[in-house]
Structure formats: structure tokens, C-alpha cells
Structure 1
Amino acid sequence: MNKQNKGYHLEKVQKELQFSGSFYARKGNEILQGSNGFRNYAEKINNQLNTRFSIASGSKLFTSIAICKLVETGEISFTSRLKDCLDMDFPHVNDQVTIHHLLTHTSGFPDYFDEDTIDDYEALWHSRPMYRIRSPKDFLPLFQHEPMQATVNSSFQYNNSGYILLGLIVEQIATCSFSTYIEEQIFHKAGMKKSGYFELDRLPENTALGYIEEPVGTWKTNIYSLPAKGGPDGGAYVTAEDMVLCWQALTDYQLLSKEMTQLFLKPREVVSAEQNIYYGYCGYMELDDQNEIVKYIQMGYDPGVNFRAVHYPTTKASVVVCSNTSEGAYELLKEIENMLT
């Protein structure tokens, strides 16, 4: 299938999926890109290639890179204990929790959004004013005084609170806001000119509103379903192309040294033995039967947000799909993957 036919096919797939968002894929000199749907439903303003989308937990990649940068400077280590890194009181937390545990979701720390017991992120804000959640410290009342959820160094258990703590460590060491550090030390260096941590009530131009489908078939925006500003566990805004630039900068050693990048990309925790899915400081990855990395996997989901991305280390192919609704990104990603690989 030539590039023109691929383009026609992907336009058809987007229509069939009723996909709302944009995608960008690159393998060598081949680029596939496109967009569909509206970034503003009421005004019928189309999504475009340069539209910015929230990527929810896809942002954890940036938090991990930031921590690795601070390890490189010697200000912390992966074995540094949480209690030695933050001037804050966590009365019920095990003293042996380390940076490594937080990065790999093995800390047993109380998670403010435990997906095993809560299935609706929007429900968190029914009794809490989401408009006051604008910095990492604002999340603390959700979990600071809760008991441990599991033992330290237990099996992988996805944990958002751990990444809030990592962001607080970044702020304490860097003496600036978490979002400022990420924007200056990662986005600017990777050439991600359109990316940032934006507030829902102060969104810049070309930014998609997130939409949630209601039971009766109508749509509402997600402005009351998410924190007013994303934090270390998720909520950055990017363009699809910017995320490809991030992976390019990372694997070209523009963000971390070669040695640190290799540590960053290394598999560490088993997530699913049956599917050969592992987790490392960089996030999820799929291994083959010879324990070689097939691809790195990013995903993010919030009400009105759906983000999927993969990077293949052997071919350096990257595929990024951003959506401002809750469905469709994964299905479109698989279609593009099949074309490129």
C-alpha cells in the first residue's frame, strides 16, 4: 500500500471509529499523520495536526526523565529513601520506600486513585473542589495520612500517588514548580514547542477540550472531571508530533546521558508474564521470547482523554495517537502499527 492509499485508508478508519483527535507516525523517512473530529464541539472547530491534547498518565514519562536527570547530577539516587528526600510527614508510610520503588510502582504507597477499587476518576471530585488542584502539593490531602496499601517492594501495582511524590521531590531539589522544570528541562530541549502543563480555565489556542459521552448520547466537556492543572502523575498537553520528538530526543541522548538512557529504558518489573509486558523507569514495554524489547508502550486515560503511543527501538518507528474523547485511540494505533511494522 503506497502512502496515498494509506492516507485514504486511515481517513476511512477514523470515520468508522468516529475518532476525535490526531495522530503522527514516523518510520525512517515515512510519515503518516492526520486528524479528525472537533476540538470544540459547540463551535464545530476541527482538530488539526497542531492541536494540543491532554495525555493523562502518558505524562509520567516526563516525571521519570526529570528524576533521572536529578540522579545524574548526584542530588538523589535511585536508592534514596522518600523520608530523606522530602521535608513532609507521612505518618503511616514505611521508611524503606525509595525512589526506585516510586518509579516502578512497587512502593505499596496509598494510591489516591486505586483503580482496583475506584473505576471513575470523575468521582474523586464530587466532594473535593477540583478547581483547587493546581500543583503537586494540592494532591496531598487525598493520600498523605492514609495507611500503606501493600508491602514495600511487592509486585507491580499501578500507583498515581507515587508519581505525585516524585514531582514534589523535583520541586524541592530544583527550587521551582514541577511544570516549569519539565517545560524548561525536557520540552524545550526536545523541541516540543507546543507542549505544556496548562490550566483548564486558561487553555491556550489550538487546545482540544475533552468530551465525555452521556448515557443519552449527548456530550459534555470534562472541565469538572479533572484537576484544574495536571501534575506529575498525568495531565500534560502535547501535540502528537511533539511526543515523537520526545522519543527522538530521548533515544538520541539529548535528554539524558547514554548510560542513564540505557538504565531508563531497561525492563524491571513484570506486569503480565503471559503477554511479556514489563515496566521500567520509562513505562511499559513488550518483550519477545528472547527477552529482547519489541516496543515501548505509553498510555493515558482520563474522562474525555485517550492517549496511546509506541516506540520500536530496532526500527526507531514511533506512533502517537491523541484523542479528546474516551475511546478510539487504541484501535487507530493498532491500524497504524500494522501499516508500519
Structure 2
Amino acid sequence: MSSLEDVVDEAAGRTGFSGVVRVDRSGVTELAAAYGLADRGHGIPNTVETQFATASATKSLTALTVMGLVERGALALDTTARSLLGDDLPLVADDVTVEHLLAHRSGIGDYLDEDVVDDITDYVMSVPVHELATTEQYLPVLDGHQTVFPAGRQFAYNNAGYVVLALLAERASGVQFHELVRTLVCEPAGMVDTAFLRSDELPGRAARGYLRVDGLGTNVLHLPVVGSGDGGIYSTAADISSFWDSLFAGRIVPLERVAEMVRPRSDWPEEHRRYGLGFHLHATNDGAFMEGYDAGVSFASVHRPSFSVTYTVMSNWSDGAWPIVRLLSDRLAT
């Protein structure tokens, strides 16, 4: 049988993969490999230390930030959004709670409904992206969307809900959301290279996000210039590995909270998975995972606690990660 490195190399070459692949088993890194270019215009290659955008994988860090505030008594799962929103976002129902938002069961209208996006590389933002740098600046984007169903009735993946969570976290704590993520999640997890970077001021180690398998078109005009609760944090494969280790060691929030978050709250049969609080869950086993897909970004990281296996695929073009993710899923039987 071909080695894991050989089959990943072959698939990367065949598909034009650009990014990083890492596989850890029982504390040992079995594979850490980089492919393609972080900056096509200047021919700068990706390395295993390159920082990649993670899109919606950020939601797991947002959920943990909120849980950290719950643990500290600044929020509760039954805190209503209205109690902190005041007169802002009047279409958010009065009975929507933090738990509803975490579980994608709030029913609030979504500013970015992925079911109606035809092409991930379309220009979908309703305001100039440079105006979205702080959580409060998202208020005009979040406003004006009618409730879709009563809170708690059903599951519907919702980006707006996680920006609302970021806003609630700021207002409950008096601390800016990006700083909360850093202090409550990244620092205890040892994620030294994880941060919300400005897309128009990327540092040298950060990969530019490309819209297609080739060409120079980037995503800088497609996404908020700085991410918020629903997406946009940059990280490295090593930091993501450290994240999973720290999460299931209880270093971010106590293990009782972790168990709450990875307990299935909803079935999601259309995507062949379940959902907890901030984490995607395998349909039948104990696998938990984070996933991100956006213009110029594709990301997945899967952890199987029972097998002590983690694999992460980070790519800096829109569809780059998925062939490698499928290969590893089959190969590692996750």
C-alpha cells in the first residue's frame, strides 16, 4: 500500500492543490506538507508555517469564546439576545437566546444565506467590505432581515447568528471581540499564530486567497476586511492541531462544557452530519470537525477522540481543500 505522504502528493499534483495538509495520531505528526503558492504574483510558496484564512471554522472559536464568558458568569446559555441588543436589530425575536444562536436554531434572518448563493466567488456583501472591520460595524448588514421560524423550532445554518454572538460577547464583557478570542481561546490553546488579520494588510506569512485554481484574482473585494464571529480568522496547521489537543484536555473551557458543545443538538441530513454548539459532528461516530468555505478559502479539520486522530487541510483557493479532505476521510476511515 502506498504511504500516506505518497497518496497526498499524488492527489495534490493531480488537483492543483495549494495549501497545507497535516495528520496527527496519538500525539505524533504523521504528515505535515505544503503545496502551491501563498502569493502567486511573487512566486512565494506555501510552507507548513503559512497562515491561512479559515472562513467559517472561526465559528468554533466564537462558540468557545461565548462558553468562556458563560463559565465566567458574564453570559448564560439562556441569556436573550434582546437583553443586550437593546433597540438594535429589532427583527431579532425577544425569545432568541445565546443557546439558540450557538446551535443555529434561532430562526433569525441571515445576512448571508448560503442556500441562495449561486457561486462562492460572487460579490455577495451588501456594503463595501472595507466598512466591516469591527463587530459593531456589522449592525447595518445584520439589520432588516425578517425572522424565518420561531426560536428553537428547527436547525438552519446561520452566519448572522454568529456575528450576533460576537456582538453579545462584546457587550456582556466590555471587551472587543477579537481580543476576547485571543485571550479566552487562542492563548490557553497555545495558538500563537492565530489572529484576525486585515485582508488588505496581510503580513508576509499569510497566504493570499485566490478565486480559482490558477490566475491572480484574489478575494480581497469579496469578504469583510476583518472577520467577525462567523468567519475570517487566520491560523496555521500547527495551531489547529494545538487547538484540538487543548480543547479535549480542558484547557480552553472545562471538559463539561466541551461535552455540551459536542453533544448533537440537531440532525443535518442534507450535509450528512449533525451539529452541536459551534461544532459540526459526524453523522454516526464521535468525530467533531470545523469547516470553512468562502471565496478564496477552503478549510476542514477533523478530530476523532476515540482514535486520537486529527487531520487538517487548509487551502488558499475556493475549492482546493475538498479532494484532499475526501482522500483523508477515506484513508483514515473518519
Matches within 5 A, 1:42-121: 42-120=41-119
Distance in 1 (alpha carbons) for counterparts of 2:201 and 2:271 = 44
Distance in 1 (alpha carbons) for counterparts of 2:283 and 2:110 = 28
Letter of the structure 1 residue corresponding to residue 319 of structure 2: E
Say which of 242, 246, 250 aligns to 2:247.
Answer: 250
Q: CA RMSD in A?
A: 1.8
- Structure 1: 4+ residue segments shifted above 6 A: none
Distance in 2 (alpha carbons) for counterparts of 1:30 and 1:247 = 13
- Give unmatched runs, 5+ long, in structure 2: none
Structure 2 counterpart SS, 1:262: helix
Distance in 2 (alpha carbons) for counterparts of 1:114 and 1:256 = 30
Distance in 1 (alpha carbons) for counterparts of 2:241 and 2:232 = 18
The answer to whether the aligner puts 1:232 opposite 2:224 as a matched pair is no
Q: Is the 8 A contact 1:299 1:309 kept in 2?
A: yes
Distance in 2 (alpha carbons) for counterparts of 1:144 and 1:203 = 29
**Alignment identity in percent?**
29
Change (3 A) 1:73 1:53: same
Q: 1:315: which partner in 2? A: 307
Change (3 A) 1:49 1:88: farther
Distance in 2 (alpha carbons) for counterparts of 1:73 and 1:187 = 17
The answer to whether the aligner puts 1:123 opposite 2:92 as a matched pair is no
Distance in 2 (alpha carbons) for counterparts of 1:148 and 1:207 = 38
Partner deviation per Cα, 1:133-188 (whole Å, 9 max, x = no partner): 10112221123232212222122111111001100111112222111111122111
Q: Measure how far apart 1:337 and its partner are.
A: 3.4
Distance in 2 (alpha carbons) for counterparts of 1:13 and 1:231 = 33
Say which of 13, 16, 27 aligns to 1:15.
Answer: 13
The answer to whether the aligner puts 1:144 opposite 2:136 as a matched pair is no
Q: Measure how far apart 1:13 and its partner are.
A: 1.4
Letter of the structure 2 residue corresponding to residue 340 of structure 1: L
Q: Is the 8 A contact 1:27 1:340 kept in 2?
A: no
Quick check: 6-15 or 262-271, which moved more? 6-15
Instruction: With the length of structure 1 as denominator, give the TM-score of the two structures.
Output: 0.92
Paired residue total: 331
Structure 2 counterpart SS, 1:282: coil
- Give unmatched runs, 5+ long, in structure 1: none
Structure 2 counterpart SS, 1:220: coil
Distance in 2 (alpha carbons) for counterparts of 1:94 and 1:156 = 16
The answer to whether the aligner puts 1:163 opposite 2:162 as a matched pair is yes
Instruction: With the length of structure 2 as denominator, give the TM-score of the two structures.
Output: 0.94
Q: Measure how far apart 1:75 and its partner are.
A: 2.0
Distance in 1 (alpha carbons) for counterparts of 2:87 and 2:231 = 22
Q: Measure how far apart 1:303 and its partner are.
A: 0.5
Q: Measure how far apart 1:274 and its partner are.
A: 9.0
Structure 2 counterpart SS, 1:116: helix
Distance in 2 (alpha carbons) for counterparts of 1:274 and 1:51 = 30
Structure 1 counterpart SS, 2:95: coil
Q: Measure how far apart 1:51 and its partner are.
A: 0.3
The answer to whether the aligner puts 1:223 opposite 2:215 as a matched pair is no
